[in-house]
Amino acid sequence: MRTGRIATTVSGALVMAAAAWSAAQDTRPASGPATAPTTASAASVAERIEPFLKVIQESDDYREVMGAHARATAIDRMNVAVHKAYMRRMLRMGLPQIAFYPAQILTRLGVEDGTAWGVVGYHYGKRGDLVEAFTATMRAVELTPDDPSILHNAGQLAAWYEEDPSLPRVSDSTRRQLARMRGRLEKNAIFARAHKEVAEAYRKRGQAARQIADQIAAAEDAVESSRLRAVAVDRELRRLNAEIDDRNDEIDKLWRELRQYYGPRTVRDPNGNIIVLPPRDPERRRQLYDRISEGEKEVSALREQVRQGRRDGEAVLGELARYQKELKRLQEQAEVPVPRSQRDFRWDPPAVEGVVTDELDALPALPPAAKTNVPVDPEQEADKRLELAKLYLRNEMSDKAVDILLEITREFPETRAGKQAKVLLAALRPSP
């Protein structure tokens, strides 16, 4: 089963490992000028490289292979055979991220190697740089039309180029390259299946985008409708309260009229006694009472309408808040970018001799008794192991780093790397 995923720490470790060996080469003296060597010197270089090339091709210890590659390229930095062998060995070991370095060298040298271009395309695809991945993979499938992994990667990249709504900008030469191969590629089941899967993923994403756009539009309509209802309820409450105030003012006037003109009257007789006189115009007094009573009933009914309006208003405001929350959720969902390279694509490393080795989630286990045919140079061997220990330290794998540092101090105590290993061990395991 293809995992298609690499832990971030491991991926970083592999890239740094390649960089470490590249840097190691830069510190070693070049074997001669960059111009083509004479026949005699070429034969000499080939003889010196041969034992390292054999280790690269045959060893099961990735550290040993990396060391042999570093020492071979110290002799001839741009040796095509060495870089090809190293690239293919790393692919067979499930380490295509390390294979990227020699593949990149081969493509820059203009070597017509479809596997190298496939590794470059795979690397950029994993990084999400689909324009670079597209360019490299189209070149790879042109040079190596039968590699199942390259065909798969090419199919999904062709679908990306055709379906991505952002209209990716690729070079005219690469577009023409795809057009030339398109008829042949469409007949290939691997290419067609990968193309169909990614194209359908884009179409489904387009449908999902349209669906969420429709949902946002509906939510906006609901929010606006609720807002208008809330405004209408508020307007009605204001009208009712204003009417209540007017009715109360009218009732107050009737009460004042009643008390002033039509209420009971009191007078004093000549002896100073209080005499209560009957009210004037009893009929008018009764009418005022009736009007006041009717007005108070109307005010009571209006207040009940206000209470109901407030209940309605609270319900509308609650509904409005829910619709606004849903609208915000949909808008945030629509703004989240879709991680295309992780969601839609499955990247396969190129095959070696028809065999595809999935990228490992961890560095491969070392053989129980790895032996080497490379003549051991203590300084170089200690340097190589020290670089690996530092690699583990940079990736928070201190236990493995300590084991390697102890090994260096035990086997190469007098080398420069051995002395550095002692210093690192003292820092990692301070005395109590």
Query: Which tokens go with 420?
Result: 């550095």
Q: Which residues pair with 268 in a beta bridge?
A: 274
User: How many CB atoms are located within 10 Å of the residue 406 CB?
Assistant: 15
DSSP state letter for 362: S
DSSP state letter for 352: B
DSSP-based three-state secondary structure for 6: coil
Give the pLDDT confidence score for residue 44 in this predicted structure: 87
Burial of 70 by CB count in 10 Å (0-12 exposed, 13-18 middle, 19+ buried)?
buried
Q: Where are the domains of the chain?
A: 221-335, 376-432
pTM of the model: 0.56
DSSP-based three-state secondary structure for 28: coil
Distance, in Å, from the CA atom of 96 to the CA atom of 86, rounded to the nearest integer, reads 11
DSSP string computed for 234-300? HHHHHHHHHHHHHHHHHHHHHHHHHHHHSS-EEEE-TTS-EEEEPPS-HHHHHHHHHHHHHHHHHHH
DSSP-based three-state secondary structure for 375: coil
With beta carbons less than 8 A apart as the criterion, state whether 378 and 415 touch.
Answer: yes
Query: Which tokens go with 412?
Result: 């190469």
Query: Which tokens go with 26?
Result: 């830069």
With beta carbons less than 8 A apart as the criterion, state whether 150 and 144 touch.
Answer: yes
Distance, in Å, from the CA atom of 179 to the CA atom of 183, rounded to the nearest integer, reads 8
Give the pLDDT confidence score for residue 211 in this predicted structure: 77
- Provide the H-helix boundaries in 265-397: 282-335, 340-343, 378-394
Give the pLDDT confidence score for residue 388 in this predicted structure: 75
Top CATH class of 221-335 equals mainly alpha
Distance, in Å, from the CA atom of 223 to the CA atom of 238, rounded to the nearest integer, reads 22
Residues of the chain with confidence (pLDDT) below 70 = 1-40, 42, 263-265, 277-279, 336-344, 365-376, 391, 394-397, 430-432
CA 377 from chain center: how many Å?
45
Round to the nearest angstrom and report the end-to-end CA distance of the chain: 48
Query: Which tokens go with 295?
Result: 């007005």
DSSP-based three-state secondary structure for 355: strand
Distance, in Å, from the CA atom of 12 to the CA atom of 71, rounded to the nearest integer, reads 23
Distance, in Å, from the CA atom of 327 to the CA atom of 324, rounded to the nearest integer, reads 5
Name the nearest CA neighbour of 414 among 389, 382, 385, 387. Answer: 382
Give the pLDDT confidence score for residue 260 in this predicted structure: 75
Give phi and psi for 268, each to the nearest 5.
Answer: -115, 140
Give the pLDDT confidence score for residue 26 in this predicted structure: 40
With beta carbons less than 8 A apart as the criterion, state whether 153 and 135 touch.
Answer: no
pLDDT digits (tens, 9 = 90+) for 213-249: 888 899 999 999 999 999 999 999 999 999 999 999 9
CA 215 from chain center: how many Å?
24
Q: Which residues pair with 355 in a beta bridge?
A: 352
Give the pLDDT confidence score for residue 3 in this predicted structure: 36
With beta carbons less than 8 A apart as the criterion, state whether 367 and 61 touch.
Answer: yes
With beta carbons less than 8 A apart as the criterion, state whether 57 and 86 touch.
Answer: no
What architecture is domain 376-432?
Answer: Up-down Bundle (1.20)
